[in-house]
Chains A and B, each alone.
Chain A
Amino acid sequence: MDTSLPAKPRPHINAISRGFWENCRRGILSVQRCDDCGHQHYPGAPVCPSCLSSRQSWAPISGRGTLVSWVRFHRAYWDSFRADVPYAVCLVKLDEGPLMLSNFAGDAPAEPTIGALLEVVFEKVDSDLTLPKFRVRD
């Protein structure tokens, strides 16, 4: 890793989010599922927003979704993204329901089509961190 570049922001990993990022490292996309009522949501929360249960797990999901929207950042809000601008961010509605913000894997399509079918691709940042990205599904 080139240490002369400023480091990009990393996920805040705590007791709730740890399971999600460990799954990503293993190539598994997951959402938090309530063990009592089955409600699925992302990001993780201390209690289930539907029934307030504390018994929740990170449940593997299909990794498939639909493009809800996308934007292209021309401003670098972090110095570490200065070399990336302009870069795209996509908003994905997972087939299981929750919304997730991410990036297109590889080069973003020039004009992504809202409603396009997407699938997850895992991009390893380093030995501790793998980010879930999305590509258009054939």
Chain B
Amino acid sequence: MNDYAKLKDRIAIVGVGNTAYGNFPDNDDYGLGAEAFRNAIEDCGLEKNKVDGLLVCRIPYYARMGEILGLSPRWTVPLPPHGRMSAMGIIEAAAALEAGLCDYAALIYANIGRSRRVNYGGEESPGVWDPFGFTSPGAAHALMFQQHRAMYGTTTRQLAEVSVAFRHHACLNPDAVMKQPISIDDHEAARPIVEPLRLLDYCLINDGAVCVIMTTKERARDLKKRPIMISGIGAREAYETASIANYDPECWYHQARDVGRQVYGMAGVGPSDIDTLMCYDNFSPTVLFSLEGLGFCERGESGGFVEGGALKVGGRLPTNTDGGHLSNSYMQGWALNVEAVRQLRGECGARQVVGAEVAQFCAITPCSRSIIYTRG
């Protein structure tokens, strides 16, 4: 249990919106963010001038975003363009709403990395290990998967199950970038990037934006759609090896365990109660580490757990039903939170998890977070 317990079922996500996902060199961060905001406002039916809280992530200048949207908030938080920020932002907004720092918070994320040709390594992110040719978050995950292979016998064919399941979901999602089904053999034949990882273990880099509108349980009743409640929160950082960015010698197992204890304790549910999991998937191994740390399987057994399409809709744990970062869109966790909301509303069409009542988001990273959502 944690000190956030008084936040249980107090704060709701009431509106969600996104842009199309792809390559939009004629647009920019603000244009994408504005479109996602307009869609989220339309989704919940809120008068936009009632928005008095603004959280932006990966948007160059919060004040320009506010100017464009005609907002005069009394609460603003800008977050850096790191993948681990989505649930951090949602939790901050929940605390601010509960404290009365704002009444309606709009959280806007935009990414124009595709058009800007972002590489996530080399000269654009100088580091202490550059003289040895070590760079990129993907390489850090390759280091961890290599350890997992050696320690537990996890195979790349098991790892492929993650990418194959999420691509299957992307094929069911009209918004998703990737629409070609893939097989385990396709994964094995893909070109290596940083071995043991291959192209299909890496997330997409694409343009797009996402917006989430949040308010208190009481205010949520006056809006258009069924509110989706924040029922559990868990958080723990791992900074001890931060100079090897995105690497943890234990694959964040201990932090994830702590996050699980918090989030399940607060929500009063356990892993077996989760109808659908939205799991931060910058690289496919993250999903294996998350399943182990949160207790969906024992440590070292995630490879066996995901075999046979376990993560597909209809499988034992439908995960990243929108296709995730690997195959839907690189919205750095934000779109996965939106997908959790849409699943609990029953809006997911061909990829709907029938009767979904409890959805969990997790990001097992140097700043691990998890949120459990339920129907209000």
Contacts and interface: CB of A to CB of B under 8 A. Distances in A.
Contact of B195 (A9, A43, A74): A74
B249 A99 contact: yes
Interface residues of A, number: 30
Contacts of A131: 131-132
Contact of B146 (A8, A69, A86): A69
Given A43-B243, A89-B139, A74 B131 contact: no
A114 interface: yes
Interface string B3-22: 00000000000000000000
A68 B249 contact: yes
A9 B142 CA distance: 22
A72 B132 contact: no
A26 interface: no
A122 interface: no
A88 to B, nearest CB: 9
A69 B193 contact: no
B110 interface: no
A110 to B, nearest CB: 12
B241 A99 contact: yes
Interface residues of B, number: 33
Given A89-B134, A99-B244, A114-B150, A71 B143 contact: yes
Nearest to A85: B133
B128 interface: yes
A12 B126 contact: yes
Given A12-B128, A77-B121, A89-B139, A71 B194 contact: yes
A115 B150 CA distance: 10
Interface in A58-82: 68-75, 77-78, 81
Interface string A86-121: 110101000000010111000000000011000000
B144 interface: yes
Interface of A: 8-12, 43, 68-75, 77-78, 81, 84, 86-87, 89, 91, 99, 101-103, 114-115, 129, 131
Interface of B: 119, 121-123, 126, 128-136, 139, 142-144, 146-147, 150-151, 191-196, 241, 243-244, 247, 249
